[in-house]
Every structure is written in C-alpha cells, then in structure tokens.
Structure 1
C-alpha cells in the first residue's frame, strides 16, 4: 500500500515539476509527483494518436533545456538524445526559397543569392545575438530579487544584477535594451534589407504571444528563442529522439533513480492548509497525501485560484493573478502522411528537398504576411493564412512512423483562445482546413498524403494539458510579466503566502519553452529555505 506521507509533493508532472522532483529527491527528500493524465510530460509528450505513428503532440522541438540540468541529472544516461535540426527553409510566394543551413558558410552563400548586404550583416547579427544570449544567460539562473524589498538577500541580488549589467559595457547594454523594448520587425529593419529574411527572423518574436511582428516587446521573444543550447554550444534547434516525450521520460527516469515516486491518473483537487501553512493535498478520488512542502507546477491561475481558496490570499496577489495575461494564440496540427510532401520551391532539386525535410519549414514569406495573420486574430478570428513552423519528425528520427510513412508537426499562429463565438467542432475543422489550404500553396501534394489529421486549438490545449487559455508559456513573455514581475510582484521567488507551498511552473521566472529552469530554481530555493 502506497504511503500518504512525504517530504515533498509535486503537483503536475510537466517537465518543470519533474525537474523539481529530481533535484529534491537527489537531496534525499521523499518526493511524490502527482500527474492527472495517464502519462507525464505536460505539453512535452509523445503519443501514438494514429496506429504506428508517434507524435510530439504539443511541444515539438528543444534547445532551451538548461545545460546545468542535463549535467546535474545526467540526462543522457536516462535517454536524452537531441538530434539537431540543421536547416530552416522559408518557401517564398515567388516560387523561390530562403534557406538557413547548419553550416555558416553555406548559409552566407545562400543569403548572398538574395542580398549581399544581408549576407555580411548576418555574421555580425549572429555574433551580437550570441553575446545578448550570453548576457541574459546568468539571469536565467538567478532567483529574481524584489526591488521593493530591503531584505539583505534582495539587496544582494539587486547589487549582483546591477554589477552584471555594468559588466556588459555601454554598447551591449544599449543593444539589450533595444531587444527588450522594440518590435522584432523594427529591430530587424535596422539590420537587414531582404523582406523574407526579416519575416523568418521576426516569426521567432511572435511565437506563443498575442503580438504581431510590429508589436513592441516582440524582439525579446526573438532573443528568448535564440538562447537555446545543445551540448553547451549555440546551435540550431533540436529534436529529441522518440519525440519530446523522451525529454520528459529522461527527467522522470532521473527523478526515479534518486527515489522519487511518480503517480499518473492522480488529479489534485486542492491544497490542504492549516492556518497559513501547507499540510498536504486532496486528490479527486478522495485520497489525501501529507507533506510539509507542496510544489505546484501548474500555471499561476490554477495554482492560486483553483488549488487554494483565493480568500486565503492577499488582495494584491489575487488582483495580480487576475490581471496576468495568458491570451493563448497558438494551435497545432499533427499529420500522419503516406509519403513526403513536395515543396514547389525545391521541385527542381530532389536531393535538396530531401535534405530540407530533415530540418524545418517556416511559412513566413513576408512581414506583411505575418501582420495580416495577426490582424485576423486581433478581430477574433483564426488566421486564414497563418504563420506555420513545420517539422517532418520521421525524417529526423525514422522510428516516429512506419517505413515509407511520415509524421508532420505544424505549429500554427494565430489561433486566439477567445475566438468570436468560441471554439467548437465546426471552427476547429475550419481552422484545420485553413492550415492545410495554406500549406498546399507551397506543397501542392499535401492533401493527397494525409492519412490522419489531429487539430488542436488553444481550447483543446487547455482541456488536455491544463494550460490556462492554451498558452504554451504558462503566460505571455511580455515585458510586464518577466523577471521579478513573473507572475506578480513580490511573489516571483517561487514562494507563495502559504508557508511550505511553492511554485515551479513556467509561469515563474524565466518562463516557457522546454527549459526546466523554473523547476531547478524552485527546488534550489526550497532546499536553501
């Protein structure tokens, strides 16, 4: 019979919850993870939704996973194996294409074909973005100090932060300030002249946000996606062998190796308190588990408004959580295919097309295209011609599909959570059809290849994963929701007003992506408390 007493209970088996569990278990804590779904991973899962085809159902690429977590938990020994995505191809409306390859010289030659100016500028831009990512990197490993606090720990943190910014020097500090405040389109206008290049780059600045490429603040999201590291080096995005569920499985395996218990089909109904102190959790099946430490990997709305009685909480915290912006704007279409799609832009060179299908395809031919897609969302509709990021996972890892068959992952922007009239079967079908119709403009044979199609709206993502409004980052990466403001001022250090109750989800600093930093920092704070 399973025990009901632990040193720590983790609510939610997403990758941040699993990371927190692994670190706490490594410190000899008796830990249990409670996940309401039949499998762990949250939005980082692999599922066979059509016989013989394995899908990275939600999150589908990785490069943000922190190297210190990979090292500390020895994740390669538990099955972590990142296969690099070495190219991104953008089909153009003219019938041509723009390609970025893993080899810098090859990319420079490709850019020179479109713009000699941009070929030279890209080398300088790439170095600057690497420097900016390195400038932000220490902040990802820092517990955000509260600037309104006079506690010695917060003052020390602010001094450390100020010293870090001073060490950047004026030029890099000004560049970082621009990235934090400008739109991705305006920022890229300062560097490049070729429209499709600016569009493809700026697309990284709108992922997971209800912003357009011309919206201030989108340049930071672009930087956020530049901070990926594989094997400690800045490289292309990667694909976990077996799909993103393999990342979650590796972290879960590491947690178990240190003694953590993981329960699936274990939905937590509420957090139990005695006075202002946590004592455990109550499950939906009526069971109660006890622990002096309870850690929520859920988003801020679910953590504070669902697991607790909001009447227990300070008014400013409740107001802050109610103001916190989720605004899910992403959808996902997963396809089982009978063969490979043929992109018109590469039909003249079958070898090149085959090579390109081992990378990603970005449907972002111009800034205007992206801005029009955003216009649809602003007025309550899904984009009729959306931005899409496409990966044929079975070309990178053949084990994802039967021989000769393929799986295709299509990340889609924009699909607003608050769509006019709400999401239902008819709007979901219409959304899926718009995605396929748009893709068919660039790969005309796609419709004839489809064996199965899974369409996920933000409402579906919310229902399945529990992410409020289907936001893949547990809340927008907007300037007013970063660092000591994430999720709300005074409660950004993973603590809550309830003693012993902690937060570790992506709704805390440093935010979303398959990063694991929130789980690690929360665990280290708990162990140091």
Structure 2
C-alpha cells in the first residue's frame, strides 16, 4: 500500500519544500510604520498580535522562516507525510486564548487523547501472556487495574496523588494569566504607580488562598527532587519512572535535581475543551494551532509576513525601541517592539549596538538555556507492533497507539543515569537507555499520512548540545545516535526498523539553526524555580517590559515559560497595550 513511498526509505535529512502557498492571513505589502512590530511568528507572537490588533493597535508580525508557527509548526518533510517537527501535542493552551480569539471558529480542531500514557515493559511474558505494560487514562477504575499489576498500594494512592496535583495546578492558574508582581512599581516614589502596582499582588493572594493547606506540598514541588516526591507516594518503578519523565522532558534535569518537581506540575496544568489535565492532537498537526491564531489576528487586521529576517532593533539616541531593521536594510518603525525571539537572541544579537551597561546582555550570561533532547520525525508504512500490546490483524490503531508511549521507563534510575551521561557530553547508549517519548498522531488524524502509513514523533531525552571533548554533531554522529534510538524501539516493537520509510533527525544545534531556539531549547530557557515567575527571564525584569523602553518580551522566555500555552503572548500584549494607552 505504501509502495510508492518506499523510495524514501532511510532518507537523509532534507529541508522542507521551498514552494510558497498563499494564505488568507498573509498581508499584501509591508508598510514602513506600525504601532507595534512583533519579531517572530511563533504562537506567542501571533497571540500578541491578535490581542494588540483587536484593541486597535496596528500590528505587523515579522517571521524569518517561510512558514509561521515557530516551534508549533507542521511541515511536509516527505511527500504526503506532515509532521509537527518540534512541539507535538496540545494541552497547555490557556482557555482564555482559546475562547477570546475564537480559535475553533478559525479552524482549530482537537482530538482528545484517552488514554494519555502507555509504558510497555521490556520483559519476558509468562503463561502465554505478553509482557506487562502500564496504561494511564482518564478512567480511575482502569488506572487502579493497570497500576495494580505492579503495586496494590500504588493503585490506591494514585487517585489521591492526581487530586493533589490537580488542586495545585488549579491554584496556580491566576499566576499564569497575569504578569508577575510589579516589584519596581511597589517601590516607586510615585503614589499613583504604587497604588496601580498593588493590583499585581491580587493573583498571588488568590493563589495563596486556593492553595490553603496545600502550601507545604506546593513548596515541596518547587524545591524538592521529583524522586523525593514520587518515592513518598509510590513504590512501583514503572509508575514512578513514567511520571518522572514529565518532570524532565525537554529539560536538562535529573529527577534527582532539586526543583524538578515544578516541571512535573507544569505538565498537568493543561485544559482542553473544558476538561482539566486533558491532552490532545491537533488536526493537521501543531501548525494548525498557529494557523488558527494567525487567522484570528488577521481577521482583526494584523499584518503577518514570512521570510522577513530582523537584523536589529531600532533604538533612539535615548535608548528607546522604535522599530526594526530587516536583513535587506528595510526599516520598519513602530511605537513598541515585542520580541518573540529567545531572550538571548533579543539582547545579545538584536540589540548589539547598545553599550553593555545599558542592557541586560551581561546578566544573560547566567541564564540557563541548554535543552538535551533530540526530536525525530519518522515516516512508516505500518503501525509499531509492541510486544506488550500486539496489533490486531486488521492493522488499525489501538488505544495505546493514540497516546504518548514511554520507552525505557522500567526504572527511574535509568533516567538519572542518562542525565549523567549527557552531562559528560555522551548521548545515552547503554541497553537501558536512551529515554524516549513517542507519539503517533496519525493514529487519530488520517490527514497526516497516506493511507496505511503513519507519522511518528520521537523525542529522545538527554542528547547534549556539544559532544564530549567539545566535538560538534555531524551527520555520522547524528545517524549513529538515531540508529541507537531505532534499536531501542525495535526491542519493544520488532519490525519497527523495517517499517521506516524516511526520517528527519534534529539535534539541539539543528533546533537552534532552524527555529532560532538558543541552545536548542524549545522553552527559550530552563524551567527551573530560579528562572520562573519573578526571575523569568531575569530578576531585573519579569513583567514583559525589558530594560530598553518600548521593548517587550512576549515569548516562552518570559513568564510563565514554555509549552504551547499562549500566556506570555497574551500577557505581554496587555502590558504593552496598557503602556501605549498611558503614553
């Protein structure tokens, strides 16, 4: 059935097709002046544009690539196969953004996942039964049965654990949808500014009230290692390792790292279609999220442009941002500039003409940005056939094909060992590693692949930016490591390697080069307690206003951080809008 695609087997890394397609959101001509210019057409930049333009602020979005979306993008890497190349699943998108921008009206369609997690165990089956696996879903009774295979005690405790995490996530919500406390305003000599800044304390007080007796549990999550938290709750290793993966995925952390518990909480903050903690695939891939936001922004009049590379931010003699200069020398002036680029790019590349003492460039040296993961987009001609959950004869997707598959999660110690290897610049290669997350979105969305074929996203945790000895990734190293990853999958699902038609491997330097993600970090900076809330991106500025007047940070490097959440774009736009109205 997939014969016409077999010529792509073992295809080398290729760039997406260069063809341009006209979109309804594309503006016809770039003007020389707008009220606001946004650098970068990632989801946060597009959200900021939508809110600004909706409020009557003429706004232009300038995206350097041929496609909008930043890390939330869909690309047809191989003919007929459409991949979410970086961000791959949806949950964290804030309900306010979803409703206020009417994203459903603008084409966003979500397939909710249930179950949401599948962990096959690499072991011999017994009494003619396949190896065990752990599947977690929205059904408490099914969860008790699944976890009970490994521990009856854990089966009883899991519901209480989920309840606590849901309570903590709900309590934190007021902080996600507003800027952090305005510390500078509270200490201002202006009485009016101090009174205005008092309002920024309200979300913090609301969170404290909602936490109530759970404040000690919240504090523990912020400061303790994930292993300490999970060891207190559970005894079975497959459950602890599966949960621990959510505490480290996309972060240079070990479950033994103090503060890693917050990343665990961050991944349960989501809501889709009114269902707390739900995760889903987007029809057409994650680029459809960005497309729906772009349509919303354009419907209010925002101008969106691709292939517009910003060279630097225009600054007045007094140091105020007043527009941008493109790579071709074109100047686009504006009253404010919002940067959806990483903080490092914004202050170390786009404002180099400013003396260091006038910018946060020097403090950025201490901003932790490394992200040790390697995404792979794989085209296959059939579904993986896991030993722990064999396929049916008709080859149709089963429930476990529709969720996140965790491989090498038999023991949480494996995760720490893989982390230690990465710290030494060694991609994990022992039989117990690498740590993998795997999704098959075409199992629910047939628009992504030809009939009978599928697209698979594989995320390998703990792949260092720089290899041991200071060596850089090359094609040999990249493919050798990809082979190790595929060997791992083959152990759980024999026949996987033979099903592969093509693969697109992205190392951390590739993520930096293609998507502009400094250090390959999809979150624009580590999600650690010392780089969150009042310290994101730096303690000297955390309310989206940068030290450069008129320049705002609206990407994942700002509060509340990474994931396709949209809070940073929405909050930054509202802050900039308030400043424009007061000016």
> For the superposition of Structure 1 and Structure 2, which TM-score range results when normalised by the shorter chain?
over 0.9
Match of 1:27 among 31, 55, 61: 55
Match of 2:159 among 118, 123, 126: 123
Match of 2:461 among 401, 407, 413: 413
Instruction: Specify the alignment match of 2:120 in structure 1.
Output: 91
Equivalent-residue separation in structure 1 for 2:380 and 2:542 (angstroms):
44
Instruction: Specify the alignment match of 1:303 in structure 2.
Output: 346
Instruction: Specify the alignment match of 1:187 in structure 2.
Output: 229
Equivalent-residue separation in structure 1 for 2:86 and 2:530 (angstroms):
26
Instruction: Specify the alignment match of 1:251 in structure 2.
Output: 293
Displaced runs of 4+ in structure 1, greater than 3 A?
A: 146-149, 310-316, 348-353
Equivalent-residue separation in structure 2 for 1:345 and 1:108 (angstroms):
19
CA shift at 1:162, angstroms?
5.2
Match of 2:138 among 102, 113, 125: 102
Instruction: Specify the alignment match of 1:160 in structure 2.
Output: 202
1:150-169 deviations in whole A, cap 9, x for unaligned?
Answer: 13168515643553354145
SS of 2:276's equivalent in the other structure is: coil
Instruction: Specify the alignment match of 1:497 in structure 2.
Output: 547
The reply to whether residue 354 of structure 1 matches residue 398 of structure 2 is: yes
Instruction: Specify the alignment match of 2:187 in structure 1.
Output: 150
* Superposition CA RMSD, Å: 1.8
Match of 1:271 among 300, 313, 320: 313
| TM-aligned CA distance change 1:314 to 1:82, over 3 Å | farther
SS of 2:275's equivalent in the other structure is: coil
CA shift at 1:352, angstroms?
10
Equivalent-residue separation in structure 1 for 2:328 and 2:423 (angstroms):
41
CA shift at 1:349, angstroms?
6.8
Match of 1:231 among 266, 269, 273: 273
SS of 1:454's equivalent in the other structure is: strand
Match of 1:462 among 512, 516, 522: 512
The reply to whether residue 138 of structure 1 matches residue 196 of structure 2 is: no
SS of 1:317's equivalent in the other structure is: coil
Equivalent-residue separation in structure 2 for 1:293 and 1:147 (angstroms):
22
Match of 1:211 among 244, 249, 253: 253
SS of 1:129's equivalent in the other structure is: helix
Instruction: Specify the alignment match of 2:12 in structure 1.
Output: none
| TM-score, structure 1 normalization | 0.97
Equivalent-residue separation in structure 2 for 1:78 and 1:181 (angstroms):
41
1:127-181 deviations in whole A, cap 9, x for unaligned?
Answer: 1000000111111012112446513168515643553354145521001001111
Match of 2:422 among 369, 377, 382: 377
Match of 2:411 among 349, 366, 381: 366
Gaps (5+ residues) in structure 2? 1-28, 124-130, 189-193
Gaps (5+ residues) in structure 1? none
1:100-141 deviations in whole A, cap 9, x for unaligned?
Answer: 123222222212232221111111111100000011111101
Match of 2:494 among 431, 444, 459: 444
Equivalent-residue separation in structure 1 for 2:534 and 2:120 (angstroms):
40
Match of 1:52 among 65, 74, 80: 80
CA shift at 1:316, angstroms?
7.5
Instruction: Specify the alignment match of 1:477 in structure 2.
Output: 527
Equivalent-residue separation in structure 1 for 2:358 and 2:412 (angstroms):
42
CA shift at 1:404, angstroms?
0.4
Equivalent-residue separation in structure 2 for 1:153 and 1:310 (angstroms):
36
Equivalent-residue separation in structure 2 for 1:267 and 1:184 (angstroms):
41
The reply to whether residue 292 of structure 1 matches residue 342 of structure 2 is: no
SS of 2:248's equivalent in the other structure is: coil
| TM-score, structure 2 normalization | 0.88
1:353-384 deviations in whole A, cap 9, x for unaligned?
Answer: 72211222111221012112112101111122
Equivalent-residue separation in structure 1 for 2:374 and 2:441 (angstroms):
18
